[in-house]
Structure 1
């Protein structure tokens, strides 16, 4: 980045560190923080969509839908998260490639399953072998988002289902007595009223999601954990900026980052809880009502 960085062997002190911390790999390290935050912001609405679908299905009067909704939440909650984080991207990747293979290579006469290998024609690969690197990285992040959304959607479904059950039944019965349909009751009464009951559980899920983002490392995404390990490890003389084992300091930076993100989240969620509790017949709502003006 700086002109004096052309010859690292002549650098010392602050100049050495200024060049070392602005290398291309360090820039990718800094960008990986944005990748983690972006993944969380994308995962939340996707997980909420899964959660709403599961919660509404669990309350459905149609028996098969009710079984699917309850089974989805129970299955994911009863299996270690890491199993789904590894299974969902693999299953989704192979499923998409299998469908593309059937469309693009109908004349293929070899088995797709060849021992332990999953073999499809080159045209069915996702992404294509000739695709630029950014497409491969983006595809990996999409699979990671799908895995996170599937897992946390099941937990969100459980939280939302409990929040829906916490809404006073008298309100729902009153709405029904006024002639509102079940869909209108759900949209106008149930969902607006349930948020105050769902927020504590959803807040915990957000915190768990923050702590789960290092699992991106297991999915092959070059996240902050990957770069902290790579940059912090001792480098050989072939590396332009050799240094001792500094992983302790890199992982300490990750600790500070996650603690800061958690603190900001706590402040934002506390404000959101106060806003949703305003005028509600809950303990937080009563405290606001009794508070001096």
Structure 2
């Protein structure tokens, strides 16, 4: 980063520390925070969409669709997250490569399953071995987003299903009495009012999602935990910046980051709860009416 950093062995004190903290690997470490924030920014709305679809399916009067929604929420919630991440990502990756293998290499005669190995033709690899490193990172990140969305979408579906049932039935009956059909009462009466009941559960899911981001390294993404462990480990004289085991300092920095992030999230959720409580027949809504 700085011109005087070209010879780390000649540095000491603050100059050494400044060059150390601005080295190439530290730049990747700082960039990994953006990776985590991007994962949260994409996963949260996608998981909410999965949850909304799952809740609607569970409420459906069409039996196969209702069973599909209930099986999705029950099975995914019943499997430990780390097991689901390890199994689902491998299965999804191999499924994509198998479909590409069947389409691109119809003349391939060897078995795809060869003991513990999964062997497809080179053209079917996803991504291709000749693809740049950025393509591999984007592919792994996409798998991570999809996996996180499915897992947290199942929990969100259960929360939204309960929130939909919490809306007073009398309000839906009143909507029907005014001539609304089921679709109109759902979108105009049920959906706008369910969020105040769903927000506590969704807020908890958001906090859990934040804490689950360190599992990114299981999906092949170099996240902040990976770099903290990599940079903080003991470095001998063969490295440009040798130092003893400093992992405790890196992980303390991550502790501060996560605590600050969750505190900001709590403030936002409190304000959102207050905003959604206006006009609602809830304890918070009644408190706002009395204060006014």
TM-score category of the 2 structures, normalised to the smaller one: over 0.9
Q: Per-residue CA shift, 1:232-266, capped at 9, x if unaligned?
A: 01102110000011000000000000000000000
C-alpha distance in 1 between matches for 2:51 and 2:90: 22
The worse-fitting range, judged by mean Cα deviation, of 12-21 and 107-116 is: 107-116
Q: TM-score, normalised by structure 1?
A: 0.98
Map of 1:232 onto structure 2: 232
C-alpha distance in 1 between matches for 2:284 and 2:150: 32
C-alpha distance in 1 between matches for 2:173 and 2:73: 27
Map of 1:59 onto structure 2: 59
C-alpha distance in 1 between matches for 2:49 and 2:111: 36
Map of 2:187 onto structure 1: 187
Provide structure 2 residue ranges, at least 5 long, that are not aligned to the other structure: none
Map of 1:101 onto structure 2: 101
Q: Per-residue CA shift, 1:140-190, capped at 9, x if unaligned?
A: 111111111111000000000000000111111122223322222221111
C-alpha distance in 1 between matches for 2:109 and 2:181: 55
Map of 1:70 onto structure 2: 70
Map of 1:46 onto structure 2: 46
Offset at residue 126 of structure 1 (A): 0.8
Provide structure 1 residue ranges, at least 5 long, that are not aligned to the other structure: none
The 5 A counterparts of 1:50-199 are 50-199=50-199
Offset at residue 71 of structure 1 (A): 1.0
Map of 2:28 onto structure 1: 28
C-alpha distance in 2 between matches for 1:148 and 1:159: 17
Look up the SS of the partner of 2:280 in the other structure.
coil
Q: Per-residue CA shift, 1:39-96, capped at 9, x if unaligned?
A: 0111011101110111001000011111111111111121211111112211211111
C-alpha distance in 1 between matches for 2:271 and 2:186: 26
Given that 1:88 and 1:146 are in contact with CA atoms closer than 8 Å, whether structure 2 keeps it comes out as no
Please identify runs of 4+ aligned residues in structure 1 that moved more than 3 A: none
The worse-fitting range, judged by mean Cα deviation, of 171-180 and 120-129 is: 171-180
C-alpha distance in 1 between matches for 2:254 and 2:246: 13
Give the number of aligned pairs.
Answer: 292
Answering whether residue 274 of structure 2 is matched by residue 264 of structure 1, we say no
C-alpha distance in 1 between matches for 2:66 and 2:136: 38
Q: TM-score, normalised by structure 2?
A: 0.98
C-alpha distance in 2 between matches for 1:171 and 1:105: 59
C-alpha distance in 2 between matches for 1:269 and 1:207: 11
Given that 1:89 and 1:146 are in contact with CA atoms closer than 8 Å, whether structure 2 keeps it comes out as no
C-alpha distance in 2 between matches for 1:158 and 1:36: 25
Map of 2:220 onto structure 1: 220
Given that 1:76 and 1:154 are in contact with CA atoms closer than 8 Å, whether structure 2 keeps it comes out as yes
Given that 1:152 and 1:205 are in contact with CA atoms closer than 8 Å, whether structure 2 keeps it comes out as yes
Offset at residue 288 of structure 1 (A): 0.7
After superposition, the CA RMSD in angstroms is 0.9
C-alpha distance in 2 between matches for 1:43 and 1:133: 23
Map of 1:208 onto structure 2: 208
